[in-house]
Amino acid sequence: MQKILVARPIFPDVIDRLKQYFDVDWHTGDALPADELARRLADKDGALTAGDPITAATLAAAPRLRAVANMAVGYNNFDMAAFNAANVLGTNTPDVLNETTADFGWALMMAAARRIAEAEHFLRAGKWGKWSYDMFLGPDVYGSTLGIVGMGRIGQAIARRAQGFNMRVIYHNRSRVAPAIEAELNAEYRTKEALLREADHVVLVLPYTAENHHTIGAAELALMKRSATLTNIARGGIVDDAALAGALRERRIAAAGLDVFEGEPKVHPALLTVPNVVLTPHIASASEATRRAMANLAADNLIAALGEGPRAGRPPNPINPDVMGKARS
């Protein structure tokens, strides 16, 4: 029986599914340190991860490893050049979290714009003693301009929500989406710079790559309206968190909502000292139904990638399908 590592706690019933096909080593604690991860992968044929870094060194220490299923859409934790060189298949879990993540991004944007976290902290601290016409004034969402950076599946889901708020939608993407999609979403393409100047609310939904590192930095924040908000539900590293903290402190933008951070689970300490930011611990996909769907899809990918189950040899979501059928090198 082939051996696999499940590197994170997941639903026990998904583990039971995997045990039908594999000898399962299930890690139920915090994220494994790199050396322990490599040690436990040394005799494994496959792995199910959730953001754990799989590097060239990790792969070199695991000569039997043929497939790694990531329980996430993003896979910047995978060194894909090393995966390709070693003929190791990587998979991810797209689509099943689109709507849940879009819901959360919308909620985070609304909370930032309407200063909900600031107001709650004020109330809990016992500071609310009277009504005031200028208490926690924030920008409107209804009828404003929404700027979406990254018009993939989740970006399009967010754009659909904007229609119910009578918002003007502008977007920036590596390439323009099809005219039919633009028409369906009533969305207009902009350069990144033009989008930042025009938008009342900017939502980031783009993948993390080396090219996208600090897509939003000090220069980009300087282009935004002082009344604008920034929401990041994409990946840490897309925003320069230190520059954002400075812009928030100096009120060069109105507010921000962040679900992802550079170097998470650590958060830049400056972000913890500014009141006009809503901070959440990478939970945009955290509905039970969605997380179950992600776990089961990751399991489906791993089962099929290792030649088991009804889809043997045909995993639903290969990242680098060109290595399929090739011997491990």
Active site residues: 235, 264, 282
- Contacts of 135-142 with CB under 8 Å at 24 or more apart are 138/113, 138/114, 138/254, 138/255, 139/113, 139/200, 139/201, 139/227, 139/228, 139/229, 139/254, 140/113, 140/200, 141/109, 141/110, 141/113, 141/114, 141/165, 141/167, 141/201, 142/166, 142/167
Amino acid at 307: G
Q: What is the 3-state secondary structure (H, E, C) of 273-315?
A: HCCCEEECCCCCCCCHHHHHHHHHHHHHHHHHHCCCCCCCCCC
How far apart, in whole angstroms, are the C-alpha atoms of residue 6 and residue 8?
6
Residue 217 identity:
G
For residues 48 and 22, give the distance between their C-alpha atoms in angstroms, rounded to a whole number.
12
**Phi and psi (nearest 5°) for 187?**
-115, 140
At residue 204, what is the residue type? L
202, 207, 209, 212 alpha-carbon torsion, rounded to 10°: -10
